[in-house]
Amino acid sequence: MLLTINMNDRIIDLILAMKSKCLEKEETIRQEFGLSPAEYRGITAMSSDEPCNCNRLSQKMGLSVSRGSRVIEKLVRNKYVVCEVAQSDKRNMILKLAPKGARIKKKIDSMLNDCEQVIESKLSNTEIKNTLKIFQKLGDCF
């Protein structure tokens, strides 16, 4: 899908067109690994080398704690994540990517880096810096 821009386009329409392209890429990646949207969101929100607790992961996924807990349970059930009891507080669960989840995260990160390189190959350094500034400014609007 080619994105053509003319001066009559609304900014929001262009943002939605870009979102659509990104969602297509995400769908392709999810299908390759057989992940649900929730599993994809959970795996990509986790750090490969830094454990986190359930509240923090829910926050990183943009979910309520109760919805995040259900996603985390599914990640654990499907062996993407391991859950351990924190030594300092037995009520606190520490989450880490399981080997299966870490392998998938590494592949997803590689695929996303490839996409990033394609984008960067079509833009100058100045255009990249300006694009980043614009996206940051747009994010601040909401």
Residue 4: pLDDT band (50, 70, 90) is: low
**Domains, in order of start, for the chain:** 36-111 (1.10.10.10)
Summarised one tens digit per residue, pLDDT across range 77-107 is 999 999 988 677 656 789 999 999 999 999 9
Length of the chain: 142
Residue 2 pLDDT exceeds 60: no
For residue 45, count other CB atoms closer than 10 A to its CB. Answer: 19
Closest CA to 95 of 133, 134, 60: 60
Q: HSE-up of 35 (CA within 13 Å, CB side)?
A: 25
Tokens of 101: 């989840």
User: Are the CB atoms for 71 and 61 separated by under 8 Å?
Assistant: yes
Which helix H or strand E contains 51, and what residues bound it?
none
Q: Which amino acid is at 130?
A: N
Q: What is the pLDDT of residues 16-74, one digit of tens each?
A: 998 999 999 999 999 999 999 999 999 999 998 899 999 999 999 999 999 999 999 99
Model pLDDT, residue 5: 65
